[in-house]
Chain A
Amino acid sequence: MGENNTILKIMNLSKHFGALKAVDEVSFEVKKGEIIGLIGPNGAGKTTLTNLATGAYPKTDGKVIFKDLDISNLKPYQIARMGLTRTFQVVKPLIGMTVEENVLVGSLYGRDKRNTDMKNASKRAKEIIKLVGLENKKDSLVSDITLPDLKKMEFARVLAMEPEVVFLDEVMAGLNPTEVAEASILVKKIRLEKDLTIVYIEHIMKAVMGISDRIVVLHHGRKIVEGTPQEVVNNPAVVEAYLGKRYAKGIKEANNEE
């Protein structure tokens, strides 16, 4: 690993769709074991950035360095096998298969060819299902389970791949406050057990603040602020991006008075 234990480097990443700059020269680093919150209002480019990092979209410019390797031109399935994974904002379950089978696929194809034979992969899948608490639903078809369980399943699926970095793309979307709290606890617990590095994408401030070590804020495709949760929440640029200029002015004045 490189200096400072950096596991992922996003360097001047850009994605233009014609004249629209969905992602515009974004750079930041992620250290091993961190939880980085990636926030910004809707349309800020968070999911596009995820797609770029995981190879799902071709980049217009910039580089992605993962574990000191330039993965900018690798195919998505290769990047996934190397340990850089993601979940989807709108869950993408393997329809027609059970929960256990879904997680099994992640376990079979996840990492490097180690232990990806059926016996070991099945064992691993069963363990992960137990870990996230889906054991009593493991034989249900994915079309028969609730949204929170679908999200758990997708999380389990990604964990079965034994990843090093996970982009969690708006896992909280569609969950009620109880479910959000449950999900946060689960993510924290698993992150410790599995020594994961997480890029936590959200646009609900509250969910992200309590869990992230650092925050990167995107707006209109650009990175506008990077810092600790405290630094970010009081930053007028961030407030302006989410709530508009008037609120930001209020924050500025409050800061000046301190």
Chain B
Amino acid sequence: MSNNKKVNIFLLIIAVVLFIFLPRFLSGYMVRVITTIFMYAVIAQGMNIMSGYMGYLPFGNAMFFGIGAYVTAIGMSKGLPFLVVVPLAAITAILFSILLGLPVLRLRGHYFAIATIGMSAAILSVVQNATEITGGAMGTTLPIIDKDPSIVYNYFYLAMFGLMIITTLSLHFIIKSRFGFGIRSIKANEEAAISMGINTTYHKVVAWAISAFFTSIAGALYAYWMSFIAPDEVFDVMIAVNTIVIMLIGGAGSILGPIIGAFIIELFAEVAWSAFLEYHLAALGIIIIIIVFFVPKGVTGTIADFIKRKKIRARKKVSI
């Protein structure tokens, strides 16, 4: 292993340890904020594997968040313990992604993005109207954990953190693998990928299933954490929009991008909310435009470019 790599791993381990002990020094409010950041990072990683690495934007990916949340809520209302419903939620989400994915992933580009918006809206409508099962538009509750609040929110802090670490590591190894090359080839040039023997439909469906898996677990945790969920909250299109912005500003197609992006966006939201209360929509809109125009590759992409340019300049100096 190269020295560079060893240093990176060492730094990452330090960061992990820091984050694990961070809650002791923060207020309950900040702990909850950071938990939300971890959650968004997970959802953004789900988006990242599809859009950043494979070039297929699942605008409606929030549907898996909602599915995760609702399967958890319904399962627990029937008396099942949390650790049993989570796998159920994940499996449900995967099944949805395969059933819905197979027909639309055969097509390219635009249709997939729009189809996912439609699917998400359709599922939202169904959940809103199927009141006997889901509690309808008014929402539904989950069992409240009978412990001290600080224990509860610390528990979810660690759980979300763990999920974020697992998701990020998984993505890291997937992208490095043979399968990961297949995914990246689809984004690079789908026609060429097919001509090289890549079964693109298989890759697209599996990638979406992976995306659905992690996103739904985030939803499951969220539901249990909040003890109350409503359809237009967990199927909200703004979840997708925020996730896309997070992915863009962190840097799509990079492993750490979604995490960095989640921190940046949450920071901005905290600041902007108090400063721009009446204009927060326009502020977000303008931020999006600024990011797309000036930092389209996000933080990680811009840094990578910067390093590359420095290397080229250094090489030029040497050759002269």
Contacts and interface: CB of A to CB of B under 8 A. Distances in A.
Direct contact of A and B (CB under 8 A): yes
Interface string B196-226: 1111100000000000000000000000000
A157 B191 CA distance: 14
Contacts of A96: 184, 187-188, 253
A97 B184 contact: yes
B126 interface: no
Q: How large is the interface on B (under 10, 10 to 19, 20 to 34, 35 or more residues)?
A: 20 to 34
Contact of A76 (B177, B182, B187, B195): B195
Nearest to B191: A92
Given A104-B181, A108-B181, A77 B189 contact: no
Interface in A214-247: none
B178 interface: yes
Interface string A66-83: 000000000111001100
Nearest to B192: A92
B181 A77 contact: no
Contacts of A92: 189, 191-192, 195
A11 B185 CA distance: 33
A75 B202 CA distance: 13
Contacts of B253: 96
Given A96-B187, A109-B182, A117-B178, A77 B200 contact: yes
Interface of B is mostly: helix
A157 B196 contact: yes
Nearest to A117: B178
Contacts of A170: none
Most buried by B among A88, A92, A111, A118: A92
Contacts of A86: 195
A88 B199 CA distance: 19
A106 B193 CA distance: 9
A161 B193 CA distance: 12
Interface residues of A, number: 30
Contacts of A161: 196-197
B192 A94 contact: yes
A85 interface: yes
A242 B31 CA distance: 77
A77 B199 contact: yes
Contacts of B169: none
Contacts of A19: none
A105 B189 contact: no
Contacts of A106: 196-197
Contacts of B188: 93-97
B194 interface: yes
B197 A93 contact: no
B197 A94 contact: no
A13 B195 CA distance: 20
20 contacts: A80-B194, A80-B197, A86-B195, A92-B189, A92-B191, A92-B192, A94-B185, A95-B188, A96-B184, A96-B187, A96-B188, A104-B181, A108-B178, A108-B181, A108-B182, A109-B182, A109-B196, A110-B196, A118-B177, A157-B196
**10 closest A-B pairs by CB:** A94-B188, A92-B192, A80-B197, A109-B197, A81-B197, A109-B198, A108-B178, A92-B189, A95-B188, A76-B194
